[in-house]
Chain A
Amino acid sequence: MILQQVVSGIALGSIYALIAVGFVVIYKATKVINFAQGDLMMIGAYVCYTLITQAHLGFFTAMAISTIATGILGFLLERFTLRPLLGSPLFTVVIATLAISILLRSTATMIWGANELHFPMPLGEQTLSVADINFSSAHVFITAAAFLIVLVFSLFFRFTKLGTALRAVARNQIGSVLSGVSVERVFSISWFLSAGVGAIAGMLIAPLTFLKIDMGNLGLLAIPAAILGGFESLPGAIVGGLILGISENLSGLFLPLSVKRIFPWIVLVLVLTIRPEGIFGEHKKRKL
């Protein structure tokens, strides 16, 4: 029973982690919490659905096209709505991401309507059973994808020139400019990557939550996972997501559902009380 809940918690935590990765990618480069991340996820899923049902493409082809298309949308949003705000207070930029969120939701409602839709599972809908523990093929797929994406992005940030540039801009914009890094280009690329990874998350999660306009609300549930992991750490997103998923599920077993719902936030407060920078966050000391 407890083991079953742990396995279900890993699946739930992977969902959180997958969404949290999108938050982390953009925060790592721009120091902005993108409140439209959940909605980019939703757009990616809808584009994929349209390609499958209207253009009759296979799931993985549709997924690839949708990832790139949503990435381009993220790139354009940065170019035309956030670029003019470069140098503005952080608060202004965060509010702008909220505006983008509303814009994306309204546009999606106009295009696809407000009805929930059935989204196909990439590998079919099967229940797997190992030693009396049941889990669905979708959960396996999400967990594997979350780990794979984190691995790819971790390698990208650590070993590629572009990844280094993204990290440099996040650490010191002026220093990066003086070193020849184009801050504008880095911002655009981080939005492209973040929107793309958001789209992947949306396409993997939609079979579980159904395809709906407000599926972006899930993004808010993933923020504690990102904070818990340190907000700048990709492995931290995975660990944060898993801690929350498992603890939330176990709390649901022993405590009332109303407590289960606030449990991620309780865990978050507890961890931040002990480690304010998050589990994988960098502890920064300042001289006064």
Chain B
Amino acid sequence: MKVLMKTTASFALILILVLSSLAAGAEVGVSKDKILVGTHMALTGPAAFAGKGLLEGMKVYFQFVNEEQGGIHGRKIELIAEDDGYKPTRAVAAVKKLMDRDEIFAIIEALGGPTTKVAMPIAQKRKIPYLWPSTATLAIVHPVRRYIFGYYTQFDRICVGLTDLAVKKLNAKKIAVFYADQEAGHNVRDAVIERLKKYNMETLGNVGVKMTDVDYSGVVAKLKTSGVDTIIIATHIPTTVAFLKECRRQNYNPTCLQDPQSTDPMMFKLAKDPAVTNGLIGATYMLPVDSDAEPVKKWREHMAKYSKMPPGNYSLMAYCVTEMFCDALKQVGKDLTREALIDKLETWKNYDNGLSGPVSYGPEDHEGSEGFFVVKAKDNKWELMFDKRVNVTEKMDRK
């Protein structure tokens, strides 16, 4: 009799627990009044300037949604951020912690190619949405994985656009690539080389640099004597600024175009003297931070209201992506599940929140954005060079 009573009591307890969890919410990370969202990025180390900007942009938008809209369908959003120091090993530990201990619903806007490349397969295996990491690493979107979505325009598309711009509109004759000697930089170099074949042109004297390099005098002297008139730059901000300063010192004035990683107002803070950066052309995922467009104005207002950080490109990028995430959650409705979120995203056609450009997805297409804005540095400001976004919609040759 005693055994029967104990067994009945145990079953009843389990039933109560199961039912109460069902009542609270059917999905991991989603409760009656809260949605737990995770992210991982470098908050310390050399890439921390990017990570901190991204985190601030996310925090600001979530705070706006929580305080001014009462959350999403009555649920407040709580963000848990892990510092991975831009190191793959720490990124693996970070996503496992987010998934196992914190039990988040989804991971959004993680930072970095090397880190997201190792974190992404874990999310895919556990069927946890891993959305819009801040990297243009091809592995994120190619091949397509159900739980992984890219947003930022892939480097090969940007390079196609920049190379076309250099050759067709800027009349470039001799082009060289100045790139960071790592995967992202190699991708840029290779994409430019590939695109130039279309014009029967070749790059000349490409230069791969390490972050520890301090002197570019030899590099600049070589480019100058080679007669290179156009340089496509794919390096971090300090390297780009040091390179531009050296060009100026040697009275060498090539046309310089750069990929989005350095196209940030922080560049002007480091360069100080506008003469160093004036004329530099940059690709950027977002509208300039001081644009008069209404969505950008709204972002600046929110940054002023909820953050002490000065507005920058990274916070704008994260703000944009966080708004996308919240819009997707709204569209899914009250019965929020991971599967429903993915299904909803795969139906998006030309979603546009006005900060970047239109984005579409499908079951066989998780790439995201296919364009970029072209800006030009003038007196320590990025100004739009063309009003319209450059879109590179052609099918890319990706093996």
| Residues of A in contact with B (beta carbons under 8 Å apart) | 1, 4-5, 8, 11-12, 15, 109, 113-118, 125, 127, 134-136, 205, 208-210, 212-214, 217-218, 221, 248-250, 252-253, 257-258, 260-261
Contacts and interface: CB of A to CB of B under 8 A. Distances in A.
Contacts of B47: 114
Contacts of A117: 269-270
B215 A249 contact: yes
Nearest to A210: B238
Contacts of B218: 5, 8, 249-250, 252-253, 260
B272 interface: yes
Dominant secondary structure at the A interface: helix
A260 B213 CA distance: 10
Contact of A209 (B210, B214, B237, B248): B214
Contact of A118 (B208, B210, B213, B269): B269
Contact of A5 (B44, B49, B208, B221): B221
A136 B49 contact: no
Interface of B: 42, 44-49, 52, 207-210, 212-215, 217-219, 221-222, 225, 237-238, 241-242, 248-251, 266, 269-273
B176 to A, nearest CB: 12
A205 to B, nearest CB: 8
Given A114-B48, A212-B46, A214-B46, A258 B270 contact: no
Contacts of B225: 1
A218 B211 CA distance: 11
Contact of A125 (B219, B241, B250, B273): B273
Nearest to A258: B208
Nearest to A209: B214
Nearest to B266: A115
A249 B218 CA distance: 6
Nearest to B218: A252
A12 B214 contact: yes
Contacts of B45: 109, 114, 213-214
Contact of B221 (A1, A113, A136, A258): A1
A213 B46 contact: yes
Most chain A C-beta atoms within 10 Å of own C-beta, residue among B45, B217, B250? B217
